[in-house]
Amino acid sequence: MGKKIKKEAEPPPKDVFDPLTIESKKVATVVLMLNSPEEEILAKACEAIYRFALKDDVKKLLRELDVMSSVIAQLAPEEEVLIHEFATLCLANMSAEYTSKVQIYEHGGLEPLIRLLASPDPDVKKNSIECIYNLAQDFQCRAMLQELNAIPSILDLLKSEYPIIQLLALKTLGVITNDKEARAMLRDNQGVDHLIKVLETKELNDLHTEALSVMANCLEDMDTLVLIQQTGILKKLLSFAENSTIPDIQKNAAKAITKAAYDPEIRKLFHEQEVEKCLVALLGSENDGTKIAACQAISVMCENSGSKEFFNNQGIPQLIQLLKSDSEEVREAAALALANLTTCNTANVIAAAEADGIDPLINILSSNRDGAIANAATVLANMAMQEPLRVKMQNHDVMHALLGPLCSANTVVQSKAALMVATTACDVEARTELRNSGGLEPLVELLCSKNDEVRRHASWAVMVCANDELMAVELFRLGALDILEEINLSVSRKNKFSEAAYNKLLNNYLSLKYSLTGYLSSSNIINDGFYDYGRINPGTKLLPLKDLCLQEPSDLRAVLLVNSKSSDVSPPASMEDKSSDIGYGRSISSSSSLRRVSKEKTNTRSGSPTEDKLEPTSGRNTAVSKSTTKEKGSRKGRGKKEEEKVKEEEEVAAAPKLTGEGSPDKEWYPPSDLDFCVYVDEVTKSIFPITNIEEQIEALAKYVAEKMGGKVSKEKLHDFGWELHISELKFQLKSNVVPIGQIKKGIFYHRALLFKALADKIGIGCSLVRGEYGRAWNEVKLMNESRKGLIGALPPLEVYVVDLMFHPGRLMKLRSKEADLYRYL
């Protein structure tokens, strides 16, 4: 063999650039390479940038280099498929971050991405739809997708042979169909048919979860709902919920049922298909998402009366158990279902209580989720409508548990909490517990809410809480009356409850009402502890009786006190006890005969005549007669009382003088009034039995005048000397507070108060009206027999003013000359 001769390489043409291999370690250099016209360089640059972008800390640098515009430029139609693949891959990776989404959106990346959904290359399709899915999380991008008519291109991807592309397409549709306009576009492009085809194909069961999610969104559109109802897909939804073993499919099927069940006709159809059994079964799922979806479906289905009845026996016990779940989301959903089930349904309320639901519901009031608190409060408010359940709730310290919701910043929670107060604070014990827990302060603050429902429910709650005088006084102290008055002056802010709450506060704090308005109606019954401070201006705070009693006497007008109850802090028994030096701050250690007598007197009736009293001959009722009979049996004669009175005066005089409020262990009571106790006893025995109402009034007027210094003529009124008498009493009592029974020289406003107080004790309906310059008078309604109408009809009522000064017992027609002279001159 001959020797091989090496062939020499041919030299490159002189007009061609020699190949150059470059190794770059700077991303900026690679970014510049994206501008190259050579396909091989572009592909390698895109791949390098993609690998670089996979590093999280690198994405920020890429954004700073403004690489997005260069990458998007590579999506142009004239570029090769390989360029499209790596460019879309890079965008898909970077679009997971919000800042990159903004940059893609601002550089017009959506339009070329939508166009590339029709690319022949599956990788380009996959990368493009993945990027669109990420961008669709932003509402601006979703709106742009609708403008660019992206839905038809996305629906076409459901025909792809690649499951990942189909899945990403469904995920994207699941996001964009949250918008109403997108749902309409999906319907118009036969999107429902595409979804039904997926759901009916068993081989595509890996797509059923996402397909059901899109379907659930579509069911919010009424036109789509009608369309689906005609296809029979509703039964398919039930089948998925009942038979599938995949939690996500069950969850999404239940969500779809929830959306569809908002339509009454479909609710009826579901009820006929016994969907309730399926939903109850789903409550037992191990998957929290499925439980939540089932609870939500029950919440909607119970709008159907038949479904609501079904869940009474099956469903409520399971929901009560879910209230104890470790998941707060599950507890919230279960409470929502119970709230809807128990609204306007006594049977379900009782079922929830019998399933031991009270305790877990109260526990949820301290949840971190506002929705859970609001739902639980709704259920408890429904339960509180039943008195036995209300008592059980109070035994679980429900009023204390309400403090947190009342202080919430969420208006829904505030509204439900106030509503719950309105339904639970129906007795003294509950109201006392609420006050002691500090619940009144935040409740009053809710009156200032700008939310109409919160303000309405808070007004309702205040109205309920003001049902007794102690609570009314406390609410007044917290400023509730001033707030309600301000609300009621506003046409837009006032409501029926705010007006009722204002009136209830005044009617249960008559001392304040009389000082503010100068008027007490016949239905405003004066009880023990009432005091007349005199006229005050709106916005002025009325001091509590205790504070007034502990003040030193001054030249201010005397505060008139009505009290027939015994107390541990007793004033001198009467003015005749000149040697007594005991003030209201002193205490008597022993249980005296005065207290025994007072307790007997307090058993006399404190009637509640209505404003329009129609019986002219009686003025009493059966209850009065019974209490009077009982009282008569307990008395042992006038002589015995006088002996006890003398004994009491001796005890008072012998009692040690203490300063301040007495023993700190003793509860403070208003000073008692033995003379007033005697008055009540005497009028009950002598005036109460009179059967003619006019004669009753005349007798009581003469009695009051006699106890207050007798008849006084107009000419001698200025010589009556009542001012000195009141000053002496204030000095003796060491207080500005003077019990009404101790006043022996009284003028108009003293006598009118005593008349009203005694009339209320024996059931004579009368009002008390304050005038100017120390005037006050009583008005009564009597039938005018001379003005009878039709045969058998009662004669009309006329208002009369009772004379207690000039001609005691005289009745003067209101607005007559003599009545005007009595009231004003």
Higher pLDDT, 610 or 686: 686
> Given this model, what pLDDT does residue 615 score?
35
Q: Which of 104-118, 352-366, 772-786 has the lowest mean pLDDT?
A: 772-786
Concatenate the DSSP letters of all residues of 248-286 into one string.
HHHHHHHHHHHHHTTSHHHHHHHHHTTHHHHHHHHTT-S
> Given this model, what pLDDT does residue 641 score?
43
Helices 222-231/264-272 angle, 10° precision: 30
Residue 120 neighbours by CB distance under 10 Å:
7
> Given this model, what pLDDT does residue 655 score?
38
Residue 656 neighbours by CB distance under 10 Å:
9
Looking at the predicted structure, is the pLDDT value of residue 448 above 90? Answer: yes
> Given this model, what pLDDT does residue 15 score?
64
Distance CA 384, CA 424 (A): 6
Residues linked to residue 801 through DSSP beta bridges, in sequence order = 779, 812
Distance CA 651, CA 566 (A): 15
> Given this model, what pLDDT does residue 787 score?
53
Looking at the predicted structure, is the pLDDT value of residue 589 above 80? Answer: no
Percentage of the chain modeled with pLDDT above 90: 52
DSSP state of 670: P
> Given this model, what pLDDT does residue 8 score?
55
Residues 6 or more apart from 761 whose CB is under 8 A from it? 604, 605, 606, 607, 680, 683, 684
Q: What is the pLDDT of residues 69-80, one digit of tens each?
A: 888 888 998 888
Q: Whose CA is closest to 270, among 313, 316, 236?
A: 236
Q: What is the pLDDT of residues 380-391, one digit of tens each?
A: 999 999 999 999
DSSP state of 577: -
Looking at the predicted structure, is the pLDDT value of residue 632 above 90? Answer: no
Q: Which of 21-25, 168-172, 402-406, 675-679 has the lowest mean pLDDT?
A: 21-25
Order of strands across the sheet that contains 797-802: 519-520, 767-770, 776-783, 797-802, 811-813
Order of strands across the sheet that contains 530-532: 530-532, 559-562, 737-739
Distance CA 705, CA 597 (A): 24
Looking at the predicted structure, is the pLDDT value of residue 652 above 60? Answer: no
Concatenate the DSSP letters of all residues of 767-804 into one string.
EEEE-STT-EEEEEEEE-GGG--STTPPPPEEEEEEPS
Higher pLDDT, 466 or 617: 466
Query: Residue 542: phi, psi to the nearest 5?
Result: -90, 120
Q: What is the pLDDT of residues 531-555, one digit of tens each?
A: 999 999 887 888 989 999 989 999 8
**In whole numbers, what is the pLDDT of the chain averaged over residues?**
82
Per DSSP, helices labelled H in 396-479 are: 398-401, 403-406, 411-424, 428-436, 440-446, 452-465, 469-477
Q: What is the pLDDT of residues 332-377, one digit of tens each?
A: 999 999 999 999 999 999 999 999 999 999 999 999 999 999 999 9
Concatenate the DSSP letters of all residues of 533-558 into one string.
-----TTPPPPPHHHHHTSPP-SSPP
Q: What is the pLDDT of residues 566-580, one digit of tens each?
A: 755 444 444 333 333
Looking at the predicted structure, is the pLDDT value of residue 61 above 90? Answer: no
Distance CA 76, CA 80 (A): 9
Distance CA 578, CA 262 (A): 82
Helices 469-477/428-436 angle, 10° precision: 30
Q: What is the pLDDT of residues 269-327, one digit of tens each?
A: 889 888 899 999 999 999 999 999 999 999 999 999 999 999 988 899 999 999 999 99
> Given this model, what pLDDT does residue 218 score?
84
Strands 797-802 and 811-813 come out as antiparallel
Residues 6 or more apart from 674 whose CB is under 8 A from it? 573, 574, 594, 597, 598, 645, 648, 741
Q: What is the pLDDT of residues 507-526, one digit of tens each?
A: 989 999 999 999 999 999 99
Asked if residue 463 lies in contact with residue 453, where contact means CB atoms within 8 angstroms, the answer is no
Distance between terminal CA atoms of the chain? 158
The first and second tokens of residue 1, run together, are: 């063999």
Q: What is the pLDDT of residues 11-50, one digit of tens each?
A: 656 666 666 666 777 777 887 887 888 777 878 888 787 7
- Provide mean pLDDT across the span 611-633: 36
Task: Please list the helix, strand and coil fractions of the chain in percent, rounded to the nearest 5, in that order.
Answer: 60, 5, 35
Asked if residue 128 lies in contact with residue 134, where contact means CB atoms within 8 angstroms, the answer is no
Query: Residue 797: phi, psi to the nearest 5?
Result: -90, 140
The first and second tokens of residue 146, run together, are: 């609708």
Percentage of the chain modeled with pLDDT above 70: 82
Higher pLDDT, 585 or 208: 208
Q: Whose CA is closest to 783, among 799, 765, 767?
A: 799
Q: Whose CA is closest to 690, among 599, 762, 779?
A: 762
Q: Which of 194-198, 728-732, 745-749 has the lowest mean pLDDT?
A: 194-198
> Given this model, what pLDDT does residue 38 score?
78
Q: Whose CA is closest to 127, among 96, 103, 91, 79?
A: 91
Concatenate the DSSP letters of all residues of 468-507 into one string.
SHHHHHHHHHTTHHHHHHHHHT-TTT--HHHHHHHHHHHH
Residues 6 or more apart from 708 whose CB is under 8 A from it? 743, 744, 745, 746, 747, 750, 751, 754, 804
Question: CA quadruple 652, 737, 824, 813: dihedral positive or negative?
Answer: negative
Asked if residue 564 lies in contact with residue 677, where contact means CB atoms within 8 angstroms, the answer is yes
Per-residue CA distances from 404 to 367, 401, 434 (Å): 10, 7, 12
